[in-house]
Amino acid sequence: MISAPLPRSSASHSFGSWVWLIPGVCVALIVAAPIFYLFLSWGQVDQQLWQHLLDTQLLRLISNTVILVVAVAIGTTLVGVSLAWLTALCDFPGRAWMDWALMLPLAIPPYVFAFVVLGIFDFGGVFQNSLGRIFPQYIGGDARSTGMLVLVMTSVLYPYVYLLTRNIFLMQGRAAFDVARSLGASPFEAAWRVALPMARPGIIAGVSLVMMETLADFGAVSVFNYDTFTTAIYKSWISLFSLATASQLASLLLLFVISVIMLERTTRGRGRIEQKSTRTELFQLKGIAAVAASGWCLLVLALAFALPVAQLISWVANSASNSGIFSAIFSSSTLRLIQNTFVLALGSALAIVAIVFLINLSVRQNKNASVFSEIAGLGYALPGSVLAVGIVAVSAHLDDLFSGPATDGFLVGGLLGLFFAYLIRFYRPANSPIESAMARLRPELGESAQSLGASKMRIAGKIYLPMLTPGILAAMLLAMIDIMKEMPATLMLRPFGWDTLATQIYSLTSEAEWQRAAAPALILIAVSCVPVIMLIRQSLSGNR
C-alpha cells in the first residue's frame, strides 16, 4: 500500500531521511557498473584481433556508422519538419486524421520494416518479380543498399522529429510568421529565418533521439548486412569469442552516444520556446498547394505504415493453412513465443515500475535522491548491445572475484542479467508518467484529510492511489511494450531456449524467411500500437 508523503519539516535532515537515498544509489550503481567495466576492458587488449580489425573493418565501421547517423538525421529532419509545419499550421483535405495517423510508424520496429522492404524490393521480391513479368529482359538489382537502409530508418524514426516539432509549431502559432511577411519577407524567407529558428529546440531534441536510436539499432543493419559498431560488437562476442574486444568496441560506440547527448544539450540550450495559450488560425491551402500537402502526407503514411502492414498481412494470408489466418498467426510455436515474451515483459515491467515508484517516493522524502534518479535515467541512451556486453563484463569480473558455483552464471544465462539490462534501458520511459503523477500529489491534500481524522492508510487508498493509478498503469504499459520490442540485449543475454517474438524475427530474417517472420512481426506491431495511440491521445489533448 502507498504511504502518504511526509510533510516537510526539520526532521527531513535526520538519519531516517538519508535512508531514502539507498534505492536511488543502488540503481545509479547498476547503471554505472556496466559502463565502468566497458572502459576497464582496455587494460587487456587482444593485439592480433585489433590488428585484424584495423586492417579490415574498423575504418568501414566508423564510416558506415557516421554516414548512417548523419543521413538518417537529415532525412528525418526534412520529413518530420515538413509534416509538422503542414499539420500544425495549415488546413488541407485530410489534415484532421493525418495529424495523428502520421505518428503510427512509431509502432513498427526498424528490423520489421527492414525485412519487409527486402521482401518486396530485393531479388525474388514482389516488386522485382512484377517488373520481370512486364519487362522479360529486366535483370534486377540488390536492395541492400545504404540508400534503402536510410529510407527504412527514416520511415520509422521521423515521428520523433514530427511530434516534438509539431508541438512547438502549435505553441508558436503563425504570429511571428505573419509579422515577417508584413515586413516584406517571402513565405520561404519567413519560414527559414523566423519560424524554424524558433522551433530549433524541438527539432534538435527530436533529431538527437533519432541519432541515438540509429546508433543503437542492431536489427535493421543486420538484416541489410550493413556493418556498424552494433553488428561488430555482436560478431566479436558471438563469432570471435572475444568479450574484451566486444567491450572495447562497445566503449567506442558509447563515445558516439555521449557526443550526441552533449551536442543536443549544448545546441538546444540556446533556444527558448515561447508558449501560446490561444489556438492559432490555420493557413488555408487551396488548389495545387492543398493537393500537394495531402499527397505528401499520404505518401509518407503509405510508405511508412500502410505498405509494411499490408505486406505482412499478405504473407500471413499466403502461408495460412485451411484453418485460416487466425490459426496461422496463433500457431503452437507462435503461442509459445507470445507466452515467453509476455512473461518476460510482464515480470520485468512489474519490477521496474516498483523500483521507479520507490525512487520517486524517495525523492519526495529527500530531494537529494533526485540526483540519483537523473543518473539512472541516463541508461536510456545506451544501446542494448552495449548494455549486454557491459553486463557480461560485470558478471565475468564477479566470477573472478568470487569463483565458485554460487556465482557461475549469476548475471548471464539467466533472467537476472536481462532484467538489469531492461532496468537500465527503460528506467526513463517508466519514470516519466510516475514522476508526473507524483508531482500532482500536494502535501496539503493529506494534511487536510488528516485534520478531518483520516488515517494515513485511508488517505493513501482514497486520495493518493486514484491519482497515481493512471501514471503507474501508463508506466507499466510503456515498459512492457519497450521490453517486447527490444532485440539486441534480449538476443545476447536471454537464457538458452528462451526465444521471444523479437529474437524469433531475427532468427528467421537472418535466413531470409520473410513469410515465416510475418506472423510474429504483425503481433509485435499490433501490441506496439497501444502506447503509440496513448501518445497520440496525450499529444492531441494537450494541444486542444
Please list the rounded mean pLDDT of every run of 10 residues in the chain (544 residues): 46 58 84 84 83 85 92 95 88 87 89 90 71 62 84 93 84 65 61 71 84 87 89 82 82 82 68 49 82 94 93 83 60 81 89 88 78 81 81 75 55 76 87 78 66 64 73 82 86 83 88 85 86 71 56
- Distance CA(367)–CA(361), nearest Å, equals 10
The pLDDT value recorded for residue 370 is 81
Establish how many alpha carbons lie within 13 A of residue 177's alpha carbon, considering only the half-sphere containing its beta carbon: 20
Helical H segments across 331-414, by residue range = 332-365, 369-377, 384-401
Pairing label, strands 90-91, 283-284: parallel
The pLDDT value recorded for residue 299 is 95
The pLDDT value recorded for residue 212 is 84
Position 416, amino acid: L
The pLDDT value recorded for residue 302 is 94
The pLDDT value recorded for residue 2 is 45
The pLDDT value recorded for residue 1 is 42
- Distance CA(174)–CA(195), nearest Å, equals 8
Q: Which of 85, 234, 216 is nearest to 153 (CA)?
A: 216
The pLDDT value recorded for residue 181 is 61
Position 404, amino acid: G
- Distance CA(393)–CA(9), nearest Å, equals 44
DSSP one-letter code for 191: I
